[in-house]
Structure 1
């Protein structure tokens, strides 16, 4: 259940307050005051068995005594009474309740609350929450200290204390809200539910989240990606400094801390994460301004050198880059500025700069090809008027016509008030300090990166070389009751998935180790072979740089004694012998897989070697990954700078590294027993990548992936009338070009009937959105013949409750009349029934007689659509 009945929270016709009170300062008294004074147009119905009236409003002794059915109830009574009240409210037809009361930490008490609500489909906010506010509807169903103004921001938070602080801070700065929801303990309604509702709420222009934890990761990711495509979503997550998960088995598990995983989830969902409450509102103001940036290069224009240096320092600390001024820009500035200007970025136009100097310098910077945005700074002086400089900046921006972001910071308070007013009127972002303005620029940069991930069209996945061999190794180990693979087994699994791995041979005795060494080129490395020892160096189980087979045998004998003493309970099954890998220009990396308790499997990448946990240079990504996402992951690490060429070292094979991450992601999808995987080190140089060592841990019950992988099981032959057939499969992100081509080869009339309007060409944003779908709630089946040439698409989008879905169908004009459309739609209906939908519907133009005829043949009925030109067709599924 997701958005069902949530409209009762925000658009109720009547509100009941259970536990209303006249006792001054009590929760029941404060909520009653807020409900009665916030401007709600419907009846507020206080319930109190002993009070005749609450604040001069007639009170009712029980829920049964209420004269009208309440759509929404607010409950502030002792915890043991709440389940019974929920049951009574459900019987009266109430559809939503806000449970202010705490005391439901016991799982049994929490379950009693849910058991009381579910027979009536009554939705619960809380328990243990501040309440709900909807200023446009005049609703303050909370014990907050104030009712904010109506506006376009929606705030969803787990903490009541943070919410009251945010309301106080925001109201003092003129922010208004569409909705404010405190989720408390999230027994029922959670972040995923609210994101689903707010994504389609016209009154909400941007969404702010304060997150302490996520309950249903897949629902959160699905709803979050849908919401972030529609409007800015900015999030604060507590626990950034919390220690990461401690894993005894792999470096990957130790490094993939919970906060890093949340970071990855927010990025993958297209959200922007910020660190502070004030930054939350600054960020949403910046994102809502409509400014777009193409990169992270900032040009700074200032009348004070120190302010410019502050901005550049902040920029580099946040990961941005100062723009390098083009020669033609420097020439233009030379003509416009005094000879004493800084001749670089920041562009210091000197403290006595008149307004005209600001305008000329800004005009030059706005056309510089190396600047993605311009930050204009002003330090107040007695020589020049800051307000007049601001007017010149506004006029220059207006006159230039260049769609390049301009941000401003007029330092100071009293003397700069007029300048800030002018910028506000012109919708030019203004910030109090250079570092705040620089941070706002980086918010734009980060947000655009995250949004690009939603719309990117990546290439297809690489295929494993022998997935069945990998599955056999894993299944045999699980059948033996083992929770980890031996090193040779782990390397065999990696090799089966096409990850280059160092050659190694297994020997049972020191003498056999010498024989195996003779088959390899010297020098040699020897490691202990034991299913019980993961970190071999910790117990003396590694010997390196052995020059002869005899040295291998001697080292193996000594190793046996050392390891037996250090790990007396470990089973010693022999040795692993491999040639020493000599790649002096290789970078040492780490790549692996871990399982997060909330978001499930994650892929990790960073700087490797023996000091991997000390360096902690790593990034986490949520699978399934593709090449674009893998490259983006790599770019977020410090070690990524070392993959390029420097000094006498050629550039390393960065694409090979990205492919390793892709292949690890594919392993996650295809090997559900995978619990942990560690490749450390993964060497990368100009000759490619090579895994030197590998560890793999197994589990019988792995948490599901937060993002549903590609449903390849739906692919297969699609028989057509007359014995023909075409290939059918779910759409893939790399289908974007083929989708565009299919539309281009479809007649304008067919496209008009499909999209209910003219469409000459499918824009990139549309094509990316239609080809990169969330397979959990959406499905698009394509017919192709030959491979890669799309003939038709049948699409289904399910509602958040999973009860009904809207279908759409398009077949290329030159491939119609072959039965492709009917066959695709039948398969889509079968899929909808299999996933539990109760009905499928679609809107068809009255004049589209062929589609109306097909829908009749497939058992659709007609239903009112509210539009005389459109017929709604509905099919009930069994």
Structure 2
């Protein structure tokens, strides 16, 4: 450790970055660099490979050399004393020689930096990752069901998915996925049409598709009619489209023409097995000619060893992905639709927030204060219910009773039937010790159940402190589903949210998904859809669909709870009962941290609500100022549309029209840990009239700013106030210098910058642009 620190201290004065130690080194073929002890230098290519293992690096170099695969970079990170995955992703995201990034990960460090860099890189190019150590052995012991369910590998999976990366299981799959994504083919969904000259290989493809959770496309009547007209009578008349073993190239072309127009298919897999009565190369040529210059989502699979070689070379020359077996082809298709799903989640704009529900964090904090003051870490059920109620999560009313007689009286006040639960700070799972009795229908039944419960608890857990009983009305919802919603704390990524099928057998069923807070409606719905129980929640036979919006709202409220209440370590709502009428939490358990313990921050910085404020311009106009949100996309586009073309040119250096989703999403879906954008609105209005943003480098020492005020609000002093707030924010966050390139003829911007103390310098060789910079280490406006 001392030697490592000495090395870092020696490098720091020279701004030298250290890769390693205990690493293979760095290879950059395009620059002729082989600073490694690898046994060979790879060919130039457009794939970057970053690995923690030197042995994996040399194995991949050998594997790639035999297949003619080249690299833009190969980097072995080793012990990551300085440069880590986040640093490499930042660099490779902007490297023009790199078209796709492959990662071999054993563990990540600096998770916020890693996720920030991964999200930025994934927006620009495919990032594919294989993670070693998938077993559950790394999951920490936990007091709650949620803690037991949130295994370490599941948390990594959630992190990769949230960052828009594609996770694969093996190194071979890593390069196959990179090759598929590098072709530029993209799909809109998981519906596949299969065109084949062999029924058996078609069935194998269908089996593999089902195992990969994809779906066979349902062919329209129009497509079936075209195929009937073009194909022999004996064709399959369904998907897979089996055009028979003697199919010549002409038959492939006619069938492909029909399938290319099928809107119900997101991609087409074309397969061919060798036959003495047909020419495989002729079929391949027909496919290439039919596609022509069309950018269609087509994958090919020509089976065999020697016969399909020419066909595969032909496909490779046309950048058409080709595979040797149906299983490989289906796996490639699953990579495409998994990547699409992750990118969609990364880029999709969440709906505008509904009217905010009334949340009361102070009330919840007061409950936790009392628990910690009493020297406890586990909340009683009534205390846990009070915390949930403070976050508007529907709960069951309850009465605390100290004795069996009091429990009987409480039951009479509530009305029968009732549920009786033991009340003890030492019992984690009440049902395990006989601490829950359901459907008690009379005062006598309650008294007897309470006495029996006390005896059962003394036998099962004699050391447990029993404070009495919790009496609740029996909730009858025939056909309702039992879910679990909870919070656990990962040792690396901090708080995570778990959702799935609940009940007493929750660990046995194992139907759960892990997500990283903060959640928005889209992320919450994606979590729900990722579970098996989601199919039941949509309704079946005579069972109506559950209120999925209520389930979604509960996930978002729990996400807000864990963002606000830093002392919550674990939380279980199990079961969360749901049906068509909504949700209700039947049982809750919360564990808080001991006094003085510090929580790891959320892996993704939540919306910084504390930065919302009101500002006033020199003309006395007041505006609401707040950080930008993803759902501001529509309002931002409207602001740009209501600005003059000249003002848009001054901001973006070019005329931009139309303002498409991808463009607007990059401006509104920001990473608050690395970027900040403030929007100004008139009080009581949603229209955006000004935006100022700051994008920091990974070290957060320098940051680039940009500003735009709606054309009709220019000259009012709003821009100056926005800049003042941005510079104050930069200083508060330790940024040492802010800068921006602006057009030389943007005189209003240059005048305002001069008034704020900025220095104007030439912007390299670009005569139309100047650079404005401000040293924030000195005092200024």
Same fold (TM over 0.5): yes
In structure 2, how many angstroms separate the alpha carbons of the residues matched to 1:473 and 1:176? 60
Q: Note if contact 1:205-1:232 (Cα within 8 Å) is conserved in structure 2.
A: yes
Matches of residues 461-480 of structure 1 in structure 2 within 5 Å?
462-480=356-374
Select which of 208, 222, 245 maps to 1:328.
Answer: 222
In structure 2, how many angstroms separate the alpha carbons of the residues matched to 1:298 and 1:309? 13
In structure 2, how many angstroms separate the alpha carbons of the residues matched to 1:117 and 1:871? 33
Asked whether 1:797 is paired with 2:695, we answer yes
Over the residues paired in the alignment, what is the CA RMSD in angstroms?
1.3
In structure 1, how many angstroms separate the alpha carbons of the residues matched to 2:415 and 2:131? 53
- How far does residue 358 in structure 1 lie from its aligned partner after superposition? 0.7
More deviation in 758-767 or 808-817?
758-767
- How far does residue 584 in structure 1 lie from its aligned partner after superposition? 1.7
Write the deviation string for residues 207-250 of structure 1: whole angstroms up to 9, x where unpaired.
Answer: 11000001111010001111111111100001123336243411
Q: Note if contact 2:30-2:44 (Cα within 8 Å) is conserved in structure 1.
A: yes
Q: Note if contact 2:24-2:36 (Cα within 8 Å) is conserved in structure 1.
A: yes
In structure 2, how many angstroms separate the alpha carbons of the residues matched to 1:115 and 1:426? 52
Asked whether 1:182 is paired with 2:76, we answer yes
- How far does residue 478 in structure 1 lie from its aligned partner after superposition? 2.5
- How far does residue 579 in structure 1 lie from its aligned partner after superposition? 1.5
**Counterpart position of 2:326:** 434
**Counterpart position of 2:756:** 858
Structure 1 stretches of at least 4 aligned residues deviating more than 6 Å after TM superposition? none
Select which of 37, 57, 63 maps to 1:169.
Answer: 63
Write the deviation string for residues 834-868 of structure 1: whole angstroms up to 9, x where unpaired.
Answer: 10011111111111111110000000011221111
- How far does residue 465 in structure 1 lie from its aligned partner after superposition? 3.0
Asked whether 1:513 is paired with 2:407, we answer yes
In structure 2, how many angstroms separate the alpha carbons of the residues matched to 1:631 and 1:320? 19
In structure 1, how many angstroms separate the alpha carbons of the residues matched to 2:2 and 2:619? 61
**Counterpart position of 1:626:** 520
Q: Secondary structure at the match of 2:633?
A: helix
**Counterpart position of 1:773:** 670
Greater relative contact order: 1 or 2 (C-alpha under 8 angstroms, separation 6 or more)? Answer: 2
Asked whether 1:216 is paired with 2:91, we answer no
Select which of 533, 542, 556 maps to 2:436.
Answer: 542
Q: Note if contact 1:170-1:281 (Cα within 8 Å) is conserved in structure 2.
A: no
In structure 2, how many angstroms separate the alpha carbons of the residues matched to 1:863 and 1:843? 9
**Counterpart position of 2:172:** 278
Asked whether 1:349 is paired with 2:247, we answer no
TM-score (norm 2): 0.97
Select which of 612, 628, 638 maps to 1:741.
Answer: 638
Q: Note if contact 1:244-1:255 (Cα within 8 Å) is conserved in structure 2.
A: no
In structure 2, how many angstroms separate the alpha carbons of the residues matched to 1:604 and 1:769? 29
In structure 2, how many angstroms separate the alpha carbons of the residues matched to 1:657 and 1:515? 34
**Counterpart position of 1:339:** 233
Write the deviation string for residues 713-758 of structure 1: whole angstroms up to 9, x where unpaired.
Answer: 1110111113221100000111011001000111111111111111
Q: Note if contact 2:361-2:565 (Cα within 8 Å) is conserved in structure 1.
A: no
Matches of residues 150-169 of structure 1 in structure 2 within 5 Å?
150-169=44-63
TM-score (norm 1): 0.86
- How far does residue 475 in structure 1 lie from its aligned partner after superposition? 2.4
Asked whether 1:201 is paired with 2:130, we answer no
**Counterpart position of 1:360:** 254
Asked whether 1:444 is paired with 2:336, we answer yes
Q: Note if contact 1:372-1:404 (Cα within 8 Å) is conserved in structure 2.
A: no
Q: Secondary structure at the match of 1:124?
A: coil
Gaps of 5+ in 2: none
Asked whether 1:806 is paired with 2:698, we answer no
In structure 2, how many angstroms separate the alpha carbons of the residues matched to 1:540 and 1:441? 50
In structure 2, how many angstroms separate the alpha carbons of the residues matched to 1:397 and 1:216? 46
In structure 2, how many angstroms separate the alpha carbons of the residues matched to 1:259 and 1:465? 33
Asked whether 1:753 is paired with 2:656, we answer no
Q: Secondary structure at the match of 1:793?
A: strand
Q: Note if contact 1:745-1:813 (Cα within 8 Å) is conserved in structure 2.
A: yes
Write the deviation string for residues 371-423 of structure 1: whole angstroms up to 9, x where unpaired.
Answer: 00000000100000000000011111117x4x430000000110000111111
Write the deviation string for residues 19-57 of structure 1: whole angstroms up to 9, x where unpaired.
Answer: xxxxxxxxxxxxxxxxxxxxxxxxxxxxxxxxxxxxxxx
Q: Secondary structure at the match of 2:89?
A: helix
Q: Secondary structure at the match of 1:826?
A: helix
In structure 1, how many angstroms separate the alpha carbons of the residues matched to 2:223 and 2:745? 58
In structure 2, how many angstroms separate the alpha carbons of the residues matched to 1:593 and 1:464? 21
Q: Secondary structure at the match of 2:605?
A: coil
In structure 2, how many angstroms separate the alpha carbons of the residues matched to 1:482 and 1:758? 62
Select which of 19, 25, 37 maps to 1:131.
Answer: 25
Q: Secondary structure at the match of 1:543?
A: strand
In structure 1, how many angstroms separate the alpha carbons of the residues matched to 2:196 and 2:483? 42
Gaps of 5+ in 1: 1-106
Asked whether 1:424 is paired with 2:316, we answer yes
Q: Note if contact 1:244-1:256 (Cα within 8 Å) is conserved in structure 2.
A: no
In structure 2, how many angstroms separate the alpha carbons of the residues matched to 1:729 and 1:761? 26
- How far does residue 260 in structure 1 lie from its aligned partner after superposition? 0.4
Q: Secondary structure at the match of 2:386?
A: helix
In structure 2, how many angstroms separate the alpha carbons of the residues matched to 1:476 and 1:285? 58
**Counterpart position of 2:580:** 686
Asked whether 1:870 is paired with 2:769, we answer yes
- How far does residue 119 in structure 1 lie from its aligned partner after superposition? 4.4
Q: Note if contact 2:518-2:560 (Cα within 8 Å) is conserved in structure 1.
A: yes
In structure 1, how many angstroms separate the alpha carbons of the residues matched to 2:181 and 2:601? 33
Q: Note if contact 2:235-2:244 (Cα within 8 Å) is conserved in structure 1.
A: yes
- How far does residue 657 in structure 1 lie from its aligned partner after superposition? 1.0
**Counterpart position of 2:738:** 840
Select which of 149, 164, 174 maps to 1:255.
Answer: 149
In structure 2, how many angstroms separate the alpha carbons of the residues matched to 1:857 and 1:142? 51
Asked whether 1:453 is paired with 2:345, we answer yes
In structure 2, how many angstroms separate the alpha carbons of the residues matched to 1:383 and 1:607? 54
Matches of residues 113-124 of structure 1 in structure 2 within 5 Å?
113-124=7-18
Q: Secondary structure at the match of 1:415?
A: coil
Asked whether 1:584 is paired with 2:478, we answer yes
**Counterpart position of 2:297:** 405
Q: Secondary structure at the match of 1:243?
A: helix
**Counterpart position of 2:426:** 532
In structure 1, how many angstroms separate the alpha carbons of the residues matched to 2:289 and 2:546? 48
Select which of 694, 708, 717 maps to 1:819.
Answer: 717
